[in-house]
Amino acid sequence: MRARLIQLSIRTRLTLIIFIVSAVTIVSVTALLVYWKANESREHAVELSVNITNILSQDAAQVLLIDSADAASDMALKLQSFKTITHAVLFDTDNTPLLAYRKHGEKSLVLPYMPANTVTSDNNYITTYVPLYFQSYDYGTASFRIRSEPFSEILIKTLGKVLIIIPLLILISYLLAIFLHKAFTRPLEHIAGIFKKYDESGDLVQIEDSYTTLEVNQLASSYNNMANAILNTKQELLSQKQRLHITLDSIADGVIATDINGKITYMNPSAEHICGWTENEATGKSLDTIYRLTDTENNELLISELDDTLSHGIVNYGLENMTLKVRKGELIDVQSTISPIRDANKAIIGAVVIFQNVTETRALHQQLRHQAIHDPLTGLLNRGEFENILQQRLQSLDNNTQDALLYLDLDQFKVVNDTSGHIAGDALLKQISSLLDHSVRESDIVARLGGDEFAILLPNCAVAQAQVIAEKIRKEISSFSFAWEDSHFRVGVSIGLVPITEPGITKTDVLTFADIACYAAKDMGRNRIHVYLTEDRELQHRRSEMQWITQISNALNENRLFLFAQKVIPLKNNINAEHIELLVRHIDNDGTLRTPGAFIPAIERYGMASKFDRWIISNALEDPKLIAYLKCSPKHCVNINLSGLTLGDTDLIDFVSSLLKNAQLPPRTVCFEITETAAVANLNATRKFIRSMKLLGCDFALDDFGSGVSSFAYLKSLPVDFIKIDGALVRDIDQNPVNEAMVNAINQIGQVMKMKTVAEFVESKNVQDKLESIGVDFAQGYHIHMPAPLHDVINEQAEQDTSNTVTH
């Protein structure tokens, strides 16, 4: 019902309202009128009766008082002229009816007595009772029965009139409504029409017309303003949308937007390019049709993330190992994020997926990872990774596990490097690596620790089996012939084998033991396997070496190292130089003086060489007495031994330089000694070092020349000033002609190369004589001078100088 009411147009409603109002008015007025009229009839009747009574009072009196029939007749005649009076009765004072009147044509009726001024009525007649007075004398009552218009007749008559009016009323209402409509509602309808047009077609037209009423004009102009505002907003929105679109399109990452049901609403060009679908094709489809993600490792489809985002608003950051299957079926690695899209009320209205092609990146990562843990040259695991694996393995040890570690050090590798160059060395390493790889089991872990050192972890391998494997490897390597540019090399391998049986053993321990074992193997002649056993004498020796280190450290810290010196005297008269070689002596815990021979190797082994050497250099070059000694005569020189390992110390040169500066010592007063073997081991470094030192102004001596692997070729490349002939050669030249010949040869070459020669270990006069006859420049040894504390030597030398001066 209410809906239908709303459907009615204004005009209809107006008509209806006007009509209804008018009708209601009329009906109520009619009702009122009818009521009044009915009432009036009554009142009229009463009035009439009263009037008649007045008129007929004389007659009535004559009738009632005089009993005159004539009067009665006259009264009747007069009553006849009142058409509405049908009956009348005159009551006597005793309330009995005396005389009745009946209009001609009426049927006979008895009017009952009622007290005066009573009015009764039935449908058609009103009966009144009027008191009769004659000169204030009440002589009776007159009753009149007056035909009144029955109510129904009045009603019908009135209604009749009304019914005539009603169509007229409708017409007037309609016309009025039309007028009103024209004046007021049509403009509204017009405007409503404009709005409707907007609803249907979306066009916002301006209202040009002006209307009759102020309010409607206001409405029209407001509408125009609103329309303009809307159009502007639309325009703005459009341009914003465009901007947004351009922005999204420009994003290099793929962007896919979905609605609340997971159906795609937008794809940017990057997404199109990556997935292989165009936006038009994809719109409306569900996300997993286009964006098919699988886990890289187990190939499971991942779809739950989108549901999580859409239903709970969870932001899913891209996991690693996501692969996207593009339209053509190709697989690419992606990293993606799915976030919810929320509206102004924070309700979720969709989701957006942003993803990048990370295939290259991932590949790069893989590569880096690989590089991080592998040795670039050989492809084996590197030290770091090997140590990690070892660590993990050790942590998971239990009482039943038996693992083994092999520590391999190639023998004579340097020969290849130095002879044929690094490329050859590298090639050799590669081939060895490949060999190793093939010699071990699947579960064994091969690593290159650096240089020519390798390690192999043999999990679940008992010592015996490990030895077998190690021996196999050793055999293979030693029988391996490396060919390079017309040269053939053979290398050997020293292997240290450490059984890993006790849980709780640390990585450092294992590696240390392995190192010890390997070194032992090297020490015992190379190309062999040495198993680390705790009771091993050799290892005890190693261990004692380790103990030495502690001692030396302590000694260094506690200043229980002392500088001794040994004179190096010239054998020829024309040499005007006097050298003293600095030696280190160590007072151990129980006060015994110890020589460095025991601990030098340990020092070198355990990386303390440089520290050690620095200590010596600084102690020497900061010693005021020594400084004074060196300054006092240009003949005075001090020789300081350097470990081969110290050569690698790049700061040493600056260190020495600053000490010399501080001491204001002429550099030529310092001569550094380095053993031939040490020099050979680091030929390039040695060369560099020597050059740097010589730039500084110091001299250089090659110690223990001729001892081990000797080659005169080295001399050519090492710009030393002194050659110190190995003591082993010198010691028995008076009896050993071979050694004599050797010494002779060395001396001669030295002379030719403008290098001074120094003979060590001169322990007898005969030797000295021999040396003189050969023509060696300097000599050093117990026969010549026993090492003594430095200050003593200096004092002694000073005295001798004084005496010499006196003598000469």
Binding another protein (rule: CB under 8 A), the pick from 22, 68, 401, 657 is 68
Report the C-alpha gap between 87 and 547 in whole angstroms.
Answer: 165
At 412, list the tokens: 């004579």
In the window 403-432, what residues touch another protein (CB under 8 A)?
none
Find out whether 429 and 377 touch, Cβ atoms under 8 Å.
yes
Least distance in angstroms from the C-beta of 59 to another protein: 10
Binding another protein (rule: CB under 8 A), the pick from 30, 38, 44, 74 is 74
Least distance in angstroms from the C-beta of 146 to another protein: 17
Stretch near another protein under the rule CB under 8 A, chosen from 67-75, 594-602, 622-630, 706-714: 67-75
72 contacts another protein (rule: CB under 8 A): yes
Which pairs with CB-CB distance under 8 Å and at least 24 residues apart come from 53-56?
Answer: 53/130, 53/132, 53/142, 56/142
Nearest to 776 by CA among 568, 567, 571: 571
According to DSSP H, which parts of 504-651 are helical? Answer: 507-523, 537-558, 600-605, 609-621, 624-632
93 contacts another protein (rule: CB under 8 A): no
Binding another protein (rule: CB under 8 A), the pick from 10, 26, 100, 377 is 100
105 contacts another protein (rule: CB under 8 A): no
Stretch near another protein under the rule CB under 8 A, chosen from 102-110, 208-216, 252-260, 537-545: 102-110
Least distance in angstroms from the C-beta of 70 to another protein: 5
At 409, list the tokens: 């050090």
76 contacts another protein (rule: CB under 8 A): yes
Give 83-104 as a DSSP string: TTEEEEEEE-TTS-EEEEEE-T
Binding another protein (rule: CB under 8 A), the pick from 56, 63, 220, 620 is 63
**Helix-, strand-, coil-residue percentages of the chain, each rounded to 5:** 50, 20, 25
CA 439, chain centre distance (Å): 45
55 contacts another protein (rule: CB under 8 A): no
Binding another protein (rule: CB under 8 A), the pick from 69, 183, 347, 628 is 69
75 contacts another protein (rule: CB under 8 A): yes
Least distance in angstroms from the C-beta of 88 to another protein: 9
**Phi/psi-derived region of residue 504, left when phi > 0, alpha when psi is between -120 and 50, beta in every other case:** left
Report the C-alpha gap between 239 and 259 in whole angstroms.
Answer: 23
Who contacts 60 (Cβ-Cβ below 8 Å, separation ≥6)?
53, 75, 90, 132, 140, 142
Segment (H or E) for 280: helix 279-282
- Length of the chain (residues): 808
112 contacts another protein (rule: CB under 8 A): no
Beta bridge mates, 569: 779
83 contacts another protein (rule: CB under 8 A): no
In the window 501-530, what residues touch another protein (CB under 8 A)?
none
Binding another protein (rule: CB under 8 A), the pick from 108, 135, 304, 481 is 108
114 contacts another protein (rule: CB under 8 A): no
95 contacts another protein (rule: CB under 8 A): no
Nearest to 260 by CA among 143, 349, 150, 359: 349
5 contacts another protein (rule: CB under 8 A): no
142 contacts another protein (rule: CB under 8 A): no
For another protein, which is the closer residue by CB, 100 or 119? 100
Least distance in angstroms from the C-beta of 164 to another protein: 27
At 17, list the tokens: 């309202």
In the window 712-741, what residues touch another protein (CB under 8 A)?
none
- Angle, helices 609-621 vs 537-558, to 10°: value is 30
Find out whether 790 and 564 touch, Cβ atoms under 8 Å.
yes
99 contacts another protein (rule: CB under 8 A): yes
Least distance in angstroms from the C-beta of 18 to another protein: 40
Give the per-residue contact string, 451-490, with another protein (x = CB under 8 A; - = no). Answer: ----------------------------------------
Q: What is the 3-state secondary structure (H, E, C) of 555-568?
A: HHHHCCEEEEEEEE
Site residues (vs another protein, CB under 8 A): 63, 67-70, 72-77, 80, 89, 92, 97-102, 104, 108, 110
